Structure 1
């Protein structure tokens, strides 16, 4: 079974390398639906998995100067407190603690997957609308406040589903910062995901919902998968990959919501 987890990690890593979509939107539902992992354990383990794998991406973007640290700090100032409060709420108020939150986690995961699919499909249109609506004279104060609020929403969503820091975060930044180069938006989003997923993952660990053996098996598979996917990404048309991925996420999300 450990080898099967490694294969799953490789497959998800390859898709992440190909599409740039965060592994949470693929890994967590895969663990829940295919391997029968408890939803809370799948979310907690995947959060630490994301923190470790995205740390390398943050280092790469940081060295290239493609991280806007002001944007990253604004997001984190909203997301990290929201993540802590969300986990405290789950741990103290969900019936049966984290185990009793299974239903909440499944529905939240399903909603996050559907939103991610919509973000993947309409990302360019959202960016174009933002350029027309706010591109000329954006209000810096308003943008800063909205960025913090966006971080808070992502903090809640990521803490209970492990999904949202990738596609949803990037789409929100496209809307808030339509003049910011795409590479800097992606780099800033990845940099923000590291502390958010680390804090949320440690919170899940304290609640007893992290499987360290599973985490190691996934990482062993995902690192070569991401390397391979990144190298062949230029050979696969983006217009082919993204609709397929969005459709898959939509179907899986609907299944989790109605399960």
Structure 2
């Protein structure tokens, strides 16, 4: 365990700083997607991108009691306390893959089931985390914006997701730890799930919290990322609160 400040190691290292991203820049963010996707594939082979594993959450507390504290997490990972309506992800839940990086699921909102909708639909909300290697020449802000778009596309795959990414902003670290980056995005879909109309949310919200962890001489940065995607409107059942991504990020216990 360390103090939370970025350390210099032989692992993925510091990315050059760039100007903060502008709201919903289709060309700016999209140009990073092939670069990040290709680089992540190489890094996965090299073993320098790792999914977070072994993260658990305490059982939900009774309605009248305060929220249960987050379960302890291994170094370099996040742990979260699920807000109202969310539960800890079940053991063995498949990862949420973004650019080929498997994000371990931490919490989710159970899927809805109605009428002719698929028997095994996607959850209405999901929070997941991974340690991502950001290549030299790409700032943490740029990477967070790209992964916000990728997370929206992954969480709503099969429903023709259209993702609009907002600007990256600072997320102050606790007790003098290094600041992180926070990005929000919105998603519009065609409302289909497994080809069935009306079985998926038509609107979603995504949040990404990115905290630099390690820096290396090669110019890359190891970044702990928490991604949250939640249904905001459409589909059978009640939507998830639009505040959920921010609530989960606020509850997150940072690495180290």
- TM value normalised by structure 1: 0.26
Q: As a proportion of its length, which structure holds more strand?
A: 2
- TM value normalised by structure 2: 0.27
Q: As a proportion of its length, which structure holds more helix?
A: 1
Higher-RCO chain (CA-CA 8 Å, sequence separation at least 6) = 1
